[in-house]
Amino acid sequence: MDEQIFTTHVRQRLDDTFDDSREILTHLHRVVRQRLKQMGIWNLPPKYLGFEEYHDQSWEGSAAMDDLVQEAYLACIEKRLEKLGQHLEITGSCEGSVHRKLKWFLSDRQEKGNPIARRVFRNVRSASESLIEDGRAECSCSERLNAKSIILAVGQQSPEPTEVLQDLFADVLGDPVFLKTVHQESPGSWQMMATVVEAKFSQGMSGYKIGELAKLVGETCKRPGVVSEAEPMASNGQKSILEILADSRTELPDSRYQQSDDLESWIAKLTRHAETSVRNAQIRKRVLNMLTALAVLIREGEDIRQLSRRKLADKLGVSKSTLAEDFARLQTYDLMQEASETETES
């Protein structure tokens, strides 16, 4: 990496000698444009990165590029100035660090800009991978599956055209439960997709192109009303406590814990599990703290089903992923306990 423009800029920022923005702005525009081209979205409207206000305009024909570059600067340099300064001081350069962060930033932006299509695509791809691994489908491609990969039923030669796929999947695309699940990020979602595809194979479907099937399902999910009905809290990026649980039990969607009385007894049960089953003292303490906090919130009349994972994580001083892991631990103990009770009864 010959150019050291980001490094020079960070050095100037920390030395308080930054007074000419032309070079960094030009460089940032150039790097972001290159990256968008590499990602294959330079020719797509800015709405694919979440810039809905520019709708079908182009990157060059709108102010979207300016907005994106400013966001990129804030996320990749301004908010990381301390870390970049450390990097610069010790290694003499922070060029690679900024470039890598820009790549991640744009990927995140793409994820957030078109989340449903991205999630559906991944679920269709994971379902296809699973079917191939199990010998229930075939694919001639040797590399990782992508949108152009063709998945065939065993012994078949060519995929179905798009209009035939539409007919074949018409029943599931009209099924609210399918649509509710297929655009979510969970193992249950792609497993369900795999089951549906296998059923279609048995009904005579010869095969499909991953990109076409994902587009068909994704477009249906994005129709007005479908997503808002299916995932009421997705719009503000929040995720309820019960959805966290649902993440690890999507194959068993049940409503046992929908009432607040049930929630209290459920928390009491999980507390007993945690006290006896979590061996690691630090994890046990953290899990019990979490359950105590939930019990307090319920007593205070808060509907914890509406509490976001972020809010609870902030309240407990843990990361969102750690919170989800602790729930997963409790779910494991819960399921083991149930299995044990069932075994005892039988």
Positions touching another protein (CB under 8 A) are 1, 13-14, 16, 18, 21-22, 24-26, 29, 63, 66, 70, 73, 78, 80-83, 85-87, 89-91, 93, 95-97, 100-101, 104, 107-108, 122, 126, 144, 185-187, 190, 247-248, 250, 280, 282-283, 313-314, 317-322, 324-329, 332
Q: How far is the CB of 79 from another protein (least distance, A)?
A: 8
- Which CB, 85 or 211, lies closer to another protein? 85
d(Cα 229, Cα 216) in Å, to the nearest integer?
A: 19
Q: CB–CB of 132/119 below 8 Å?
A: no
- Which CB, 168 or 218, lies closer to another protein? 218
Q: How far is the CB of 14 from another protein (least distance, A)?
A: 6
| 8-state DSSP, 236 | G
Inter-CA distances, 184 with 102, 178, 190, Å = 26, 10, 9
Q: How far is the CB of 259 from another protein (least distance, A)?
A: 24
- Look-up: residue for tokens 């980001």? 6
Inter-CA distances, 262 with 251, 256, 259, 268, Å = 21, 7, 5, 10
Query: 231-236 long-range contacts, Cβ below 8 Å, gap at least 24?
Result: 231/180, 231/183, 231/184, 233/308, 234/115
- Which CB, 108 or 171, lies closer to another protein? 108
Angle between helices 320-345 and 281-299 (to 10 degrees): 90
Q: CB–CB of 127/193 below 8 Å?
A: yes
- Which CB, 168 or 246, lies closer to another protein? 246
- Which CB, 95 or 160, lies closer to another protein? 95
- Which CB, 88 or 150, lies closer to another protein? 88
Q: How far is the CB of 329 from another protein (least distance, A)?
A: 5
Q: How far is the CB of 324 from another protein (least distance, A)?
A: 5
Half-sphere exposure in the Cβ direction for 148 (13 Å, CA): 3
Q: How far is the CB of 337 from another protein (least distance, A)?
A: 16
| 8-state DSSP, 324 | H
